[in-house]
A and B are shown apart, each in its own frame.
Chain A
Amino acid sequence: MFDLFFFGVLPYLALALCLVVGILRFTVKRFSYSSLSSQFLEHRTLFWASLPWHLGIFAVLLGHFAVFLFPGFFRALLADHRILLAFEATGLIAAFISLIGLALFTVRRVFSGRIQSVTTTMDLAVLVLLLLQVGLGILTATLQRWGSLWATGVLAPYFDSLFRLQPDLALVKDLPFIIKAHAVLAFVIVGLIPFSRLIHMVSLPFTYIPRRLQIVIWNFRRRKDLVERAALEDESRRQFLRGATGVGIGAVLIGVGTLDKVVPFFKGPDLTKEEREELLSLKVKKLKATAEQKALELERMQSETLFVANLKDLKRDSGTYFIDYQMSPGLAFLDAAGLPLLYSAKCPHLGCTVNNKAEGGLVVCPCHVSHFRVADGGRVDGPTPTGLRTIPHLLKDAKGALVTAPEAARLGEYQVFIAKGERS
């Protein structure tokens, strides 16, 4: 029964009152279409009351209408939790800002003697209703989260049904008391619009946004300078606020954007198990290679001879790399007689490692294109000052005995070594 009245009748009643009385008032008492400014009676508190209230309530109403008008879009948009939080937080902050303004309005209405003399009962009633309404709104936002999300599924269809003239009471039947109270109060306020100063909201409010603030002031001759000063002060304040708002929004955006990138950077990546395994195996491989390198260095300190290769593995046109006693790369080739030819692969020019592929009996240093003969390591051309340093070799047979006179028939079983301290 109550639901039927509050949600099935009251909305139409409020809207009808609003339209009919509003139009009547417009035709009969057109000049009463205003907020009955009291700025000339008191302007300091008014500034800090009016500005926050209007900014705050404008943002809040915009949020309400947006969600009611485009529920599908907002349901999709607010599915992202971060956007939802930002949306709700913005609304809540705007609500608190408007509440501050409203509180100041009330203080002004109640405690300023001058304002008291122009205050009507309706003014006070409107203030109380608005205070209640904003309070209920904040309670709804904090206790019944997340309003912007569930409203798309509950209130938006309900309003839709209202406008189709088939109010669907089932949608609002089970809503919590706070929400119902908030909605009912909203209808009441809509109904009161044409009876109160609230009517000023329909006096083409859109030009409020771009135009300069209106200053209402006593129009005496001796007050003329006051008018100009007030205009100047107001202008500079406007500029300052505009600039501060811009800088503030910019700073918040930059701050949020930077944090959004910087925090994950320091938090590190979320890796899958495969990626972690790959990283770790790479690490192990690298550590092993480093250990091998150190082992080579140790071996060069300790042993008198170093194994280079089996003689049968050496080729004429493709050198085998090895590490000499200076931990620099060396190249091992085979000469025409089938005996080893060992060179340092470190280019005498600037120390690059010479390529091991021989073409036309020449090897090349890739850094500055110096050519060397494979036959004796000599310089052919390029910026290198000398040829490649030859490294004397030793041959050992399968039993490890030094071979002084290699036999052509047994070359396949020999091993090539280099000896410590032997440099040419």
Chain B
Amino acid sequence: MRLWTGVAAFLRERFPLEKMNLHDMVEKKTVPIHKLRWAYFLGGLTLLFFSILAVTGLIMLFYYEPTVSGAYDSVRYISHQVPGGSVIRNLHAWSSSCMIACVFLHLFTVFFMKAFVKPREITWLSGVILLFITFGFGFTGYLLPWHQVAVNATKVGLQSIGAIQDYLPGNFKDLPGQLIHVIQGGDSVGQATLSRFFVLHVVVLPVSILTLLGLHLLQIQFHGMSQGVDRPTGKSEAFFPDFIVNDLRVWAVFFVVMFIIALCIPFESLFGYPLLAPFDALGSTPDGIKPEWYFFFAYYPMELVPFWVILVATTVVGAVLFFTPWIFANTSRRTLRFLAFFAFLYLVVVTVFGEPITLLIKGH
């Protein structure tokens, strides 16, 4: 009984429904001004890239064909023959990378600004789930063009689940294999996998992300912006219209830059030829199969250290992410900044220098 009253009290504090009106949620809201104020734009920027992805994705759906025989050709058709198709697809590809980058930065800034403490736990939790959904988008979307790197990287990604079986007790040894089977919808990556990933990418994940995004934004409007620094300057600007207009300005700049990049640099120019050839089920896997850059932080260590280390590290990081509001409730911002710096350093180093480091250690 006491547990339930406790839960009710927790929820009442996180969802102050009496504040559910325009005045409290919009008119009264202010955004602090201090030297870290740029961090307040990162969430909005993520939303911008998500919007670009939603619109361009929807537009491409008019031509994309989620079949093993048609997927590659329909993507080629979009890129090379449909007027404006290459820009749309490029925007989609570049925006996805930018969205992930923004999500990472958003995560780190919210962390070291200590914006996750009471009463903002639900904002943080929904944010962490949004992060995983975003990764899900990346992983499922990577398969859809059905070229060599797409299919083979998906195979590798799925097979890595299977490696868990060595650490499971006897009766559970089959579990990872069965899980892979369920995800793939068959013995190997094929039509069933493509259909499933397609549905996940264009229906299930969008619906989930929109729902959670609603919760995330509702929480932000309920509780306002966190101060974010130890010594607030006392200065602030009105959320509406000042902050919104500034936000739109940032959006405008980033959209133009994004558009120019999408016009000038094909995303695929970052891959070599054989990787973008249509997937050949009977041929050898070409060299250089890699996941998208935003999975490097887990991919390169997997090649270097025993799998159980990865397993333990992933579990620990996942748990820490989920319970951050309680674990770091009493940690000072200075310490958080220190931790965030090293985590960020790790991400940057492994993402940028992962390959040379791997080669160096393996001695090739």
* Chain A contact residues, CB within 8 Å of chain B: 261-262, 264-269, 271, 275, 279, 282-283, 286-287, 289-290, 293, 321, 323, 326-329, 345, 349-356, 365-369, 383, 385
A265–B85 touching, CB < 8 Å: yes
Residue of B nearest to A261 (CB): B84
Judge if B281 is at the interface, Cβ distance under 8 Å.
yes
**Separation of A350 and B310 alpha carbons in the complex (Å):** 15
Cβ contacts A to B, 6 pairs, < 8 Å: A265-B88, A282-B73, A286-B278, A352-B156, A366-B284, A368-B303
B77–A366 touching, CB < 8 Å: no
Could you say which residues of chain B place their CB within 8 Å of the CB of A354?
Answer: 284-285
Q: Which positions 56-109 of chain B face chain A at CB distance < 8 Å?
A: 59, 62, 68-70, 72-73, 77, 81-85, 87-88
Given contacts A321-B283, A352-B285, contact A265 B84 (CB under 8 A): yes
**Separation of A351 and B176 alpha carbons in the complex (Å):** 14
Judge if B159 is at the interface, Cβ distance under 8 Å.
yes
B83–A269 touching, CB < 8 Å: yes
What number of residue pairs across chains A and B have CB atoms under 8 A from each other?
Answer: 88
Could you say which residues of chain B place their CB within 8 Å of the CB of A264?
Answer: 83-84
Judge if B187 is at the interface, Cβ distance under 8 Å.
yes
* Residue in B73, B82, B152, B278 whose CB lies within 8 Å of A367: B152
Could you say which residues of chain B place their CB within 8 Å of the CB of A350?
Answer: 155-156, 159-160, 163
* Residue in B69, B282, B289, B364 whose CB lies within 8 Å of A352: B289
* Chain B contact residues, CB within 8 Å of chain A: 59, 62, 68-70, 72-73, 77, 81-85, 87-88, 152, 155-156, 159-160, 163, 166, 187-188, 278, 281-289, 303, 362, 364
* Residue in B59, B62, B160, B187 whose CB lies within 8 Å of A327: B187
Given contacts A261-B83, A283-B73, contact A351 B156 (CB under 8 A): yes
**Separation of A289 and B71 alpha carbons in the complex (Å):** 14
A275–B81 touching, CB < 8 Å: yes
B73–A268 touching, CB < 8 Å: no
A321–B284 touching, CB < 8 Å: yes
Could you say which residues of chain A place their CB within 8 Å of the CB of B156?
Answer: 350-352, 367
For the complex formed, measure the closest distance between the CB of B91 and the CB atoms of chain A, giving whole angstroms: 12
Could you say which residues of chain B place their CB within 8 Å of the CB of A366?
Answer: 284-289
Given contacts A275-B81, A353-B285, A369-B362, contact A287 B159 (CB under 8 A): no
A269–B81 touching, CB < 8 Å: yes
Could you say which residues of chain B place their CB within 8 Å of the CB of A293?
Answer: 281
- A-B residue pairs, 4 tightest by C-beta: A264-B83, A350-B159, A286-B69, A352-B285
**Separation of A146 and B7 alpha carbons in the complex (Å):** 76
